[in-house]
């Protein structure tokens, strides 16, 4: 089966975006050229899975920067055609997380980067996430779209390590305990 992996940033109060989906606070935070390990993380990933909100946020940032194939989970976007500049790089589907992982497995994928709050929560709920790298940005938004919540059961995690950066970012690595 394909293993799911998370690499995401949150505000100190646990939000991944403002209530309107804006991530301006994340993009303007001065990281002084720090290496937070994204290149190392993505080098071992076969496919990126994201939701419609994340896809639309990324599309609004300008040029498409993902170097891996992207699968967007969205019943709204699934029937739509892919724009020509993303043809062969992005696919839309309305399949369930389990069906997506089975499909990707049949295509030879081994490791998937699972991105976006609702998608991460739905994959966690179904025990489809192996580990998470969560980078905390030193800002309090007060309100926004949370990374976690809505699952009535506990999800046990094993803390592997944390690293603080001069910019104030703190990156924590967790293994999901099954």
* Sign (positive or negative) of CA dihedral 136, 142, 146, 149: positive
Residue 30 is predicted with a pLDDT of 65
Strand partners, 9: 135
Range with the poorest average pLDDT among 5-19, 55-69, 155-169: 55-69
Q: Is 118 helix (H, G, I), strand (E, B) or coil?
A: helix
**What is the distance between the alpha carbons of residues 38 and 85, in angstroms, rounded to a whole number?**
24
More confident site: 152 or 109: 109
Q: What is the pLDDT of residues 68-115, one digit of tens each?
A: 999 999 999 888 888 898 999 999 999 999 999 999 999 999 999 999
Its pTM stands at 0.94
Dihedral (CA of 100, 104, 110, 115) sign: negative
Residue ranges per structural domain of the chain? 3-176
Question: Model confidence over 106-143: pLDDT tens digits?
Answer: 999 999 999 999 999 999 999 999 999 999 999 999 99
Contact yes or no for 5/111 (Cβ under 8 A)? yes
What CATH number has the domain spanning 3-176?
Answer: 3.40.430.10
How would you class 138 by CB atoms within 10 Å of its CB: exposed for 0-12, middle for 13-18, buried for 19 or more? exposed
């Amino acid at each position: 089966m394909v293993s799911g992996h998370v690499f995401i940033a949150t505000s100190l109060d646990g939000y991944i975006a403002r209530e309107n989906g804006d991530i301006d606070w994340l993009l303007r935070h001065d990281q002084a050229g720090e290496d937070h390990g994204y290149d190392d993380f993505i080098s071992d990933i076969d496919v990126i899975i994201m939701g419609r909100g994340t896809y639309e946020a990324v599309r609004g940032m300008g040029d498409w920067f993902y170097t891996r194939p992207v699968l967007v989970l969205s019943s709204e976007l699934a029937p739509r055609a892919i724009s020509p500049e993303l043809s062969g790089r992005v696919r839309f589907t309305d399949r369930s997380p389990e069906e997506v992982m089975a499909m990707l497995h049949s295509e030879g994928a081994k490791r998937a980067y699972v991105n976006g709050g609702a998608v991460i929560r739905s994959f966690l709920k179904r025990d489809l996430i192996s580990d998470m790298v969560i980078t905390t940005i030193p800002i309090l938004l007060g309100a926004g779209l949370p990374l976690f919540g809505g699952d009535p059961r506990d999800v046990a995690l094993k803390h592997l390590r944390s690293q603080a950066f001069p910019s104030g970012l703190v990156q924590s690595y967790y293994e999901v305990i099954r």
